[in-house]
Amino acid sequence: MRKAFISPSKYVQGENELLNLGYFIRTYGESALLIAHPEDVKRVKDKLDFTSKKFNVTLVESEFRGECSREEVQRLQHLAREKQCSCTIGLGGGKAIDTAKCVAEGDALIIVPTIAATDAPTSHSAVIYTGEGAFEDYAYFKQSPSVVMIDTTVIANAPTRFLVSGMGDALSTYFEARATSRSFSKVNAGLPCGVHEGAAPAAGGTKAALALAKLCYETLLEDGVRAKIACDANQVTPALENIIETNILLSGLGFESGGLAAAHAIHNGLTVLPGTHHYFHGEKVAFSTIAQLVLENAPKAEIDEVLEFCFSVGLPVCLADIGVDAVTADELRLVAETACIPEESIHAMPFPITEEAVISAIVVADRIGRDFKLSKKDAIR
């Protein structure tokens, strides 16, 4: 069986690590195109100025317009050529990071997340939107980022909700990788969808990726609550450092080289419900993970463990928690249809998938989550 594993060339994490950004720019040359929202630049301006002066490098600010669109990518690529930038930096949240990936096209790319809300920073893929913000396509590049740099001080001073959302995204990593491993399904580390005929066959996940995915889940259970408390207090602690690594590195390597399954597909289905639009990716993935566990008839003890974790850090456990107070049969059918389209990751589950089974899993997961919250309220009384 063909297997594959992919990762960034370098991952570095620490307090005030942004002060060393210039060192990594120097690896490639003397200047870098900085793709970041102006507000994110403002948050870390002192550190950017310090590292530019210390390492004698130039940061070319791009006035990023906030959307990872083809038009914006072309504009920034032109700017990078005009200014003869040696590398590209994506600093901030998902849109800036994805835009930087598209601009660099797999060459000399430094990713600097300012929040730990998803596991996307380490991956070699991006989501492209229209100029108006509607989903358009996925993009895959020849390699993962050259450097992923995490300043834990910056993460600690971001709103805690971002960190908790990242834990929700990371929560699915082990369960999806486990399902993919059992079904011998392909993973993103191999060949993405749509590769040309005659290419090498798709690849499955490695034991290393599954082990990282399992460590991701174990670390969430061990340090999640303490990391949330530390972030609430804007303090960097060992627990917070461990969860930042979990949200970004362990989950990132785990999902891309271990595989996605039902949880992310159900998440994508849930996005058709307007009520979910005000909730973060990881918040919806947390509930979708519970739905996946119901779909695969996971042991009660395992579902209870996931529910306890979600409740302890403030992640959603039922539909109402992601803005869906009521849902019709037609709406559920649309969610299931969207989750079950042929190219979706739900087909990596180690058994045949039907829309009816997905609808049932969502309904039962919602009921289990609501009952769990009621039991917690009764216990408090």
Asked if 40 is an active-site residue, the reply is no
Q: Which of 124, 267, 321, 366 is catalytic?
A: 267
Residues 6+ apart with CB under 8 A from 285: 168, 169, 171, 172, 263, 264, 267
Distance of CA 22 to the CA centre of its chain: 26
Q: Which of 119, 281, 321, 366 is catalytic?
A: 281
Residue 202 has pLDDT above 90, yes or no: no
Task: For residues 87 and 106, give the distance between their C-alpha atoms in angstroms, rounded to a whole number.
Answer: 11
Domain limits, CATH 1.20.1090.10, in the chain: 161-380
Length of the chain in residues, anyone? 381
pLDDT digits (tens, 9 = 90+) for 78-114: 999 999 999 999 999 999 999 999 999 999 999 999 9
Identify the pLDDT of residue 191. 61
Residue 381 has pLDDT above 50, yes or no: yes
Its pTM stands at: 0.94
Asked if 267 is an active-site residue, the reply is yes
Asked if 37 is an active-site residue, the reply is no
Lowest mean per-residue pLDDT among 131-135, 242-246, 266-270: 131-135
Asked if 264 is an active-site residue, the reply is yes
Side-chain-side CA neighbours of 247 within 13 Å: the count stands at 30
pLDDT digits (tens, 9 = 90+) for 310-328: 999 999 999 999 999 999 9
Domain limits, CATH 3.40.50.1970, in the chain: 10-156
CATH 3.20.20.220 fits 161-380, yes or no: no
pLDDT digits (tens, 9 = 90+) for 131-152: 887 778 889 998 999 999 999 9
Which listed CATH number (3.40.50.1970, 3.40.50.880, 3.30.1700.10, 3.40.50.300) goes with 10-156?
3.40.50.1970
Query: 123 near 64, Cβ under 8 Å?
Result: no
* pLDDT class of 30 with cuts at 50, 70, 90: very high
Q: Which of 169, 223, 321, 366 is catalytic?
A: 169
For the beta carbon of residue 139, count every other beta carbon within 10 angstroms: 18
Question: What's phi and psi for 142, nearest 5 deg?
Answer: -70, -15
Mean pLDDT taken over the chain: 94
